[in-house]
Amino acid sequence: MAASTLDEERELTIHPLVATSMQHNNQVISNIRNLTASLFGVAAGTLGLESYPGFIFYLAGTLLVSILLFVLKTETTPGKYFYRPLGDMWLGEVFGGLSGFVLTWTLFYGLVRA
């Protein structure tokens, strides 16, 4: 563990990172996640999903968005834009958008289906 930390530190000293770029990228990802989460909520509510299928729908939607990010935004090289691609891009902000999802899900379920 200690050796890997040292290696990481050494790597970061040789190839320094730009903190503002990392912030910017996280901000972009966060915006996209929030917008699309509300959108998936609209769809889930209109489809009349209830309970677990709704959350599974959300997870499927975020997977779709992750793939879109991977292909369209990072040109299949997420390591260039994210220090930890798995945590920052594939799973980044997934649960941050969940509240927005539930909000629009219940709203549209009530408006359209109930």
Partner 1 sequence: MALLGTVLNTVGALFLTHAIYSTHEHTTAFSTSPLPTDITLELLLSIVLLSTGIVTSSQPLRPIQAATWAGQIAREGQKPEGTYTREGEAVLSEGDPYAFLGLDGGFGEKGGKGEGRRGFWDVKGKRREYEEWVRGRGKE
- Residues in contact with partner 1 by CB under 8 A are 15-18, 20-22, 24-25, 28, 31-32, 35-36, 39-40, 42-43, 46-48, 61, 64-65, 68-69, 72-74, 80-83, 108, 111-113
Minimum CB separation from partner 1 for residue 1, in Å?
Answer: 24
Nearest CB to partner 1, comparing residues 6 and 64: 64
- Across 29-52, b (16+ Cβ under 10 Å) vs e yields beebbbebbbbbbbbbbebebeee
Minimum CB separation from partner 1 for residue 2, in Å?
Answer: 25
Cβ contact 42:108 at 8 Å: yes
Nearest CB to partner 1, comparing residues 83 and 95: 83
| Residue (of 92, 90, 107, 85) closest to 39 by Cα position | 107
